[in-house]
Amino acid sequence: MSTDRPAAPESVHFIRAIIDQDNRSGKWGGQVVTRFPPEPNGYLHIGHAKSICLNFGLAKEYGGRCHLRMDDTNPTKEDVEYVESIQEDVRWLGFDWGEHFYFASDYFGRMFSYAEELILKGKAYVCFQTEEEMRATRGTVTEPGTPSPWRDTAPQDNLRLFRQMCAGELPDGHCTLRAKIDMGHANMKMRDLPMVRIRHAHHHRTGDQFCVYPLYDFAHCLSDSVEGITHSICTLEFENNRELYDWFLDNLDGVHHPQQIEFARLRLSYTVMSKRKLLALVKEGQVSGWDDPRMPTIAGLRRRGVTAESIREFAERIGVAKANSTVSVELFESCIRDDLNTRAPRLLAVARPLKVTLTNWPEGQVEELDAALWPHDVPKEGSRALPFSGSLFIERDDFALTPPKGWHRLAPGGEVRLRHAYIIRCDDVVKDDSGEVVELRCSVDLDTRSGSAAADRKVKGTIHWVSAAHAVPAELRLYSRLFRVEDPDAAESYAEALNPDSLEIVRGALVEPAAATMPPDARLQFERQGYFWADPKDSRPEALVFNRIISLKDSWAKAQPAPAPAAKKPEPAKPEPVKPSALSLSPAAEALTKRLGVAPTVARVLDEDAAALAFVEAAIAEGAAPAAAANTVVNDLLPAAKGAALSTLSLNPAGLAALVNLVTKGEISSKQAKEVLAECLGGGESPAAVVKRLGLSEASRGPGSDDAGCLLAAPVLPSTKTSLRQDGSSPHHSTGRAFAAATRLLGLGRLRCSSAGAGAPARRPGARSTPAA
């Protein structure tokens, strides 16, 4: 396996919190069983990936299991094609369901038995209302519905009727089995929802065995129940369904009852996610298929060259919460680049070639350069032979007849370095009859070969190139966002929302020979252009096709004036409504907020109390952190003085500084500081003395104790939690929680646990979690 450092501690999102709580209370005996239950009626997309990573990830994290279950209760919509693609996609994402691959249709028989149980209990009835009648009698959100005429049929009659339904004696839509709950219920879902309907349809799996099929609400809770799911995680729109989920399970005898938990589904800017719209793109031919590299489907992303690792990292970075939100696609792109940066060896390729002839290069001479595959800051070794000759191609965009300001590339009379090779000067520009530049005649500075003694001469720019005689032709497919508007769902039509330039096919590109010999699944970087890989379907050794996975960031292009689409005009500065707190803050107080780094409320007090301010200043002079000193004076010392002068307190500025520094150095928490302060003010002891007497020093504490009672008292042995952590990662969360628990126990309120406080190292930027495959 990889030698990467262990994953950074994940955030304890609310679902992890629920599971932690359940594990503490022993609700499920420490078991975690989740499931990912797609309906096999379409391809999985990045939104599903979030759910997959959540469900499978949680199971893995907690040593449980996650089932893959096809929610195939609607024979008219589902298909084996999708069953297969879903399995492939989940597996490709790096997850394993082991033996636990199920179909809701496996449980149809049991479900119908449960239906009979409800019928016999008078909790379900066969209803002969038409769809329209049912709709009409359901009422509205503000008015109750009216009971069905069949609502009070005797259980035995219902049982007979239901068996007729199941036996195929009744035509489609003739009747349904309904839950008998409450037609006046405030939750519309509870107004006698249908449980089973008649569909004389061929099911992709059960064939013609059944002509009745259960509906979602009835089927889903039972599928979960049968499989022993503990945490049934679904998206927010099912919140209203939870009451029904619980109702079915509560009204059946002796069934396992999982907990349904809802989270916000993923929405991504510049992306559509609904199956309907994705299907439309495919059907209308806007894309080449479900696996078109511009599609947000797993299949599309995979074909594009995006790795499973970057998708998993993305899922972790976006978090899990209950607030509807739209993640900006830049975050996803950042994950993709981040992954590819250390994965992709660097090669040279020219998309739109412009001929360059080196006038002073020895005729016919070919030099084989030894060119590193990795930049200096990627810790990987390796190089390839890169042929250099007197006849080259460079990127057309890297030459400008009249260079704009700040141009680093080639221009008439200008110099540029050829990557891994020499510095050249453009002496002549050859144009054709139409005036188009067709060739550059350049002289090469033979002393400047990369790596040679005199190579350190600096020029502004370095450009990529290929040797004409050695380059290999290739097709480049340059993909960019499918939609040009941030919220395509809000757009009036596809026509206006679609990005007409989402795919640019560049034929006649030239790649260096090494690019043709890379393993088929290798991700490459064509320097200065982007990350690519050979299209898995269309690329052949004799006809290379490279997909651009994602471009490199380009701060030069970004800084240039935008071309055609009018740049957003700056909003006329509208008068900001002045906030009340800002209004009442004097300029002097305002200055204090900046200088001391304190809240306006604190600054105001200090501004109006010269003695207090002087005290703070004195403490700062003694080495106290400004904000901490100010907050302590205002929030603690002033109230303690009860109106008297601060000098009457038995703590002087030096003492305050000492106390504050204990906190900022992480010796004690801010909560403990209160305690210490109280002691100081009471007895006149120095802060250090109090800390010593009470044994509060951080050094005397175990690193991650969960035993709150021990925390403040004495040295503790490594706790269970600590000893279980063998991965060397920081027990950040357990520490934080332990402190919180301790304070709750002692009635002290919250302790600080920040990078400056309780000794939990802050997560360094760049130290990203990399969930193991």
Partner RNA sequence: UGGGGCGUCGACAAGUGGUAAGUCAACGGAUUUUGAUUCCGUUUACCGCAGGUUCGAAUCCUGCCGCCCCAACCA
Q: Which residues are catalytically annotated?
A: 39, 265, 275
Q: Is 699 helix (H, G, I), strand (E, B) or coil?
A: helix
**Count of helices and strands (H, E) across the chain:** 26, 25
Q: How far is the CB of 586 from RNA (least distance, A)?
A: 13
Q: How far is the CB of 332 from RNA (least distance, A)?
A: 8
Q: How far is the CB of 368 from RNA (least distance, A)?
A: 15
Burial class (CB in 10 A: 0-12, 13-18, 19+), 516: middle
**Dihedral of the CA atoms 84, 85, 91, 92 (nearest 10)?**
150
How many angstroms separate the CA atoms of 348 and 388, rounded?
Answer: 12
| 328, 356 contact by CB (below 8 A) | no
Q: Which two tokens stand for residue 669?
A: 């928490």
Whose CA is closest to 316, among 299, 300, 339?
Answer: 339
CA angle 496, 498, 499 (to 5 degrees): 115
Whose CA is closest to 583, among 560, 604, 553?
Answer: 604
How many angstroms separate the CA atoms of 403 and 408, rounded?
Answer: 9
How many angstroms separate the CA atoms of 105 and 205, rounded?
Answer: 7
Q: What is the 3-state secondary structure (H, E, C) of 581-595?
A: HHHCCCHHHHHHHHH
Q: How far is the CB of 220 from RNA (least distance, A)?
A: 7
| 510, 349 contact by CB (below 8 A) | yes
Q: What is the 3-state secondary structure (H, E, C) of 71-95?
A: CCCCCCCCCHHHHHHHHHHHHHCCC
Please state, in angstroms and as integers, the Cα–Cα distance from residue 134 to each residue in 188, 386, 390, following that order.
Answer: 13, 74, 82
Whose CA is closest to 463, among 436, 477, 480, 442?
Answer: 442
Paired sense of beta strands 530-534 and 544-551, if any: antiparallel
Q: How far is the CB of 146 from RNA (least distance, A)?
A: 12
Q: How far is the CB of 39 from RNA (least distance, A)?
A: 4
Quick one: 175 or 281, whose CB is closer to RNA?
A: 175
Q: Is 604 helix (H, G, I), strand (E, B) or coil?
A: helix
Q: Is 302 helix (H, G, I), strand (E, B) or coil?
A: helix
Q: Which two tokens stand for residue 204?
A: 């992709």
CA angle 730, 733, 736 (to 5 degrees): 115
Q: How far is the CB of 244 from RNA (least distance, A)?
A: 9
**Dihedral of the CA atoms 467, 472, 475, 479 (nearest 10)?**
-60
Q: How far is the CB of 359 from RNA (least distance, A)?
A: 21
Quick one: 159 or 400, whose CB is closer to RNA?
A: 400
* Number of CB atoms found within 10 A of residue 385's CB: 12
Q: How far is the CB of 553 from RNA (least distance, A)?
A: 4
Q: How far is the CB of 311 from RNA (least distance, A)?
A: 15
Whose CA is closest to 511, among 397, 372, 381, 346?
Answer: 346
* DSSP string of 174-185, one letter each residue: S-EEEE-S-TT-
Amino acid at 263: F
How many angstroms separate the CA atoms of 387 and 375, rounded?
Answer: 19
Quick one: 292 or 481, whose CB is closer to RNA?
A: 481
Amino acid at 96: D
Quick one: 287 or 347, whose CB is closer to RNA?
A: 347
Quick one: 558 or 569, whose CB is closer to RNA?
A: 558
Handedness of CA 548, 550, 552, 554 (dihedral sign): positive
Quick one: 140 or 434, whose CB is closer to RNA?
A: 140
* Number of CB atoms found within 10 A of residue 702's CB: 19
List, in order, residues 6 or more apart from 412 with CB less than 8 Å away.
401, 426, 429
Burial class (CB in 10 A: 0-12, 13-18, 19+), 727: exposed
Quick one: 130 or 647, whose CB is closer to RNA?
A: 130
Q: How far is the CB of 261 from RNA (least distance, A)?
A: 11
Quick one: 143 or 432, whose CB is closer to RNA?
A: 143
Quick one: 143 or 542, whose CB is closer to RNA?
A: 143
Q: How far is the CB of 111 from RNA (least distance, A)?
A: 12
| 226, 107 contact by CB (below 8 A) | yes
Quick one: 462 or 661, whose CB is closer to RNA?
A: 462
Q: What is the 3-state secondary structure (H, E, C) of 238-255?
A: HCCCHHHHHHHHHCCCCC
* DSSP string of 27-72, one letter each residue: TTTT--EEEE---SSS--BHHHHHHHHHHHHHHHHTT-EEEEEE--
Q: How far is the CB of 538 from RNA (least distance, A)?
A: 25
How many angstroms separate the CA atoms of 187 and 138, rounded?
Answer: 11
Paired sense of beta strands 194-198 and 176-179, if any: antiparallel
Quick one: 292 or 653, whose CB is closer to RNA?
A: 653
Q: Say which residue the tokens 């800084």 belong to.
A: 559
Quick one: 292 or 759, whose CB is closer to RNA?
A: 759
Quick one: 378 or 681, whose CB is closer to RNA?
A: 378
